[in-house]
Amino acid sequence: MITRRSRIGLTLDVDEDGRRYEIKQGYVEAVLEAGGLPVLLPHAEPVAAAYLALIDGLVVTGGAFDIPPELYGDARREVCGPSKADRTRFEKEILEAALAAGLPVLGICGGMQLLNVVRGGTLYQDLPSDAGIGGHEQPAPKDVPTHPVKVAAGTLLWRLLGPPVPEHRVNSTHHQAVREPGTGVLVAATAPDGVIEAIELPDLPFAVGVQWHPEAVRRHDPRQAGLFTGLVEASRGGPR
C-alpha cells in the first residue's frame, strides 16, 4: 500500500523576461526528503485560493527581488531593488488564503518578509541606508553558513531545529529585513546586530518565516531540514 504524502505547494520564480518559471532544486529535494510531495504553483492570481484544495502545506520561496514598499505603506526610494509584481500579487493572495484556512506555512527569505507584510508589518527597504547595517548580502557560495543567529527559547523554530545550541550559523542574502513586526508576529531569531532573522505566528498551528535558506544550508547543517520535516508533519496533523 502506498502511503499518501502530504502535498506541499512551492511558489515559483520567473526569469528576467517573465517567460519561464524557475525553482531551485533544493526546495524540491528538501520537501521530498521530509516525506512530502512537492506541488509547483504557477502564478495564477485569479484562482490562487483554489490551489488550497490541492495542497496540505505551503512554502513561499525566496528570490532576487524586493517586496514593493507600497504594500507596507512606504514610498519607494532609490535604494529599493527591483520587484516582480505578478509574482508578489500571487504570493500575497495565496499566502493570505492559506493563513485564513490555517494551512501550515513556511516563508523563506522574501517569503518571510511577505509573511510579515500581510500581517501589517513593515520592512527596511535597504538595511545599509535605513539602519546603517551591512554584512547581510552573502557572496557565493550561497549554501555555506556564514553568520550566527540566536533562536528564542521556547519558540516553534527553537523546537524544529532540535536540541538547543547557543547559536545557529545560517546563510542569509538580503538587503531588506523586517522593521516592525506585524500583528501577532513573534520574533523567533535575531542576528548579533539585531536584525530580525526569523518570525512566527503563534496564533496559528504552523506559520514560520526565516530570512535564510534552509533548503540550501541543510547540506552543511542537517538540523535545518527540521523546518521542512515540521512543515510536512503539521500538514498531515502530525506533532508540532
Known catalytic residue at 174? no
Kind and range of the H or E element at 228?
helix 226-235
Known catalytic residue at 213? yes
In DSSP terms, which residues pair with 22 in a beta bridge?
A: 13
User: Which residue among 43, 80, 93, 109 is the active-site one?
Assistant: 109
Which of 211, 204, 208 has its CA nearest to residue 179? 211
Report DSSP state, residue 144.
Answer: S
Q: Can you tell me which residue has the cell 502530525?
A: 238
User: Which residue among 80, 147, 213, 233 is the active-site one?
Assistant: 213
Report DSSP state, residue 210.
Answer: E
Q: Can you tell me which residue has the cell 541543510?
A: 218
CA dihedral 127, 129, 135, 140 (to 10 degrees): 90
CA distance linking residue 222 with residue 206, whole number of Å: 21
Which of 217, 207, 129, 236 has its CA nearest to residue 173? 217
Known catalytic residue at 16? no
Give the ranges where the chain is alpha helix by DSSP (H).
25-33, 85-100, 110-118, 127-131, 156-160, 214-217, 226-235
Active site residues: 109, 213, 215
